Copies of this chain bind each other. A is one copy, B any other.
Amino acid sequence: MSLIVMKFGGSSVGDAERMKRVAKRVADRKKEGHRCVVVVSAMGDTTDDLIDLSKQLYDGAPPVREMDMLLSTGEQVSIALLSIAIQGLGEKAVSYTGWQAGMLTEEVHGKARITEIKPDRVVQALDDDNIVIVAGFQGMTADGQITTLGRGGSDTTAVALAAAINADLCEIYTDVDGVYSTDPRVVKVARKLAEISYDEMLELANLGAAVLHPRAVEYAKHNNVALVVRSSFTHNEGTYVKEEAVMEQGMVVRGIAYDKNVARISLLGVPEKTGQLAVVFGALAKAQIDVDIIVQSGVVNGMADTSFTVSLNDVEKAKQVLESIRPEVGFREVTSEGNLVKVSIVGAGMVSNPGVAATMFEAISALGISINMVSTSEIKMSCVIDNSRLNEVIQALHSAYGLDTQEQAFVGGPSERR
């Protein structure tokens, strides 16, 4: 008998029929002899509908405290209905809001972090043989204000709760049946991974693999929570996320990710002077602009060029910031470029395999595509390229690293929202 936390996203409980299917799934798990805690998100479009309503009442961004009050009702509806559906199948069940389940957070609205969990009610209800259903995405501050955890919040609720009650496994049910070697919509022969390490998952999640939120992966790694990502629509085995993930014989790359939300900004003709880069990136950080890859050219005639990537929607803001420090830094010109994509390979063993980088360069240049920027880390290597031939590049890399399978990948259901 194991203690399991099961997390279902909004599309898994989007209507009464889906809610019933989830109820059945949970009840079956209970009948197998497990003790079950279920974390659930708001149904389908509930959150968007509430946001629309709020926008009719307020010009601009509505007050965050009240948005938390408003949006947290979405999960509360889900937990009540799921508990009703499970009891409709004859199982004992009880639902708890975030505050009832003891999810304490910082005093920040809209994107609070969990500070402490007091799972007394949850544990007591489990001891009383209940299936316990907890609202994802929400918590309470020490002085009793309702907060929400921000994007990916329900994943984090599930993982944090699993850690707090010492669950044996945290199951993340989603609309795909696991983590793939790359996007199965791009590469039909993408490989469903049996295992992946926390670090690899974190890289993939940060690179836009929407299946698990990076914050939840971090939390799982930090607390060593055994995770599995699996489909809420099929009974296929999912992908286990753990500290030491076994790599198949002869492979060094676990998966290939891409991120289209990339723009390059270049500062041309920057006079070489100590501390110039600190001024540039300090000013960008102060304006809350995340910078990803940075490349510095060699110095010619006392001048250097610096390029870096930011999110597409930060380009204009970044250019304004740079113009504001032009007098201090004294560069010649700022340029920017969209229509880019960052393609990354991820694998825990990459650092000890010197041929990995060469394979990537070869596969891309064999297509006659030039590489704009490169960045490497211990478990990841990224190239920024023109976005027009992205699919070809991914397919070529997938083959080059021996990831192709014979089977066609399964992709089910609409995409999850939280």
Contacts and interface: CB of A to CB of B under 8 A. Distances in A.
A20 B57 contact: yes
A80 B77 CA distance: 16
Nearest to A43: B53
Nearest to A73: B73
A19 interface: yes
A70 B81 contact: yes
15 contacts: A16-B57, A19-B57, A20-B57, A50-B77, A58-B85, A63-B84, A66-B81, A66-B84, A66-B87, A69-B83, A69-B95, A70-B80, A70-B84, A73-B73, A100-B146
A107 to B, nearest CB: 14
B53 A16 contact: yes
B65 A69 contact: no
A23 B87 CA distance: 40
- Specify how many copies of this chain sit in the oligomer: 2
Contacts of A19: 57
Q: Please classify how large the interface on chain A is, using the bins under 10, 10 to 19, 20 to 34, 35 or more.
A: 35 or more
A333 to B, nearest CB: 44
A157 interface: no
Interface in A63-119: 63, 65-67, 69-70, 72-73, 76-77, 79-81, 83-85, 87-88, 94-95, 97, 100
A62 interface: yes
B77 A95 contact: no
Contact of A87 (B16, B20, B63, B97): B63
Contacts of A87: 58, 62-63, 66
Contact of A76 (B16, B69, B85): B69
Interface string A241-261: 000000000000000000000
Give 7 closest A-B pairs by Cβ, nearest first.
Answer: A70-B80, A69-B80, A16-B56, A73-B73, A57-B85, A58-B88, A66-B83
Contact of A81 (B20, B53, B79): B53
Contacts of A57: 16, 19-20, 23, 81, 84-85, 88
Interface in A250-292: none
Most chain B C-beta atoms within 10 Å of own C-beta, residue among A63, A69, A76, A144: A69
Contact of A144 (B62, B63, B121): B121
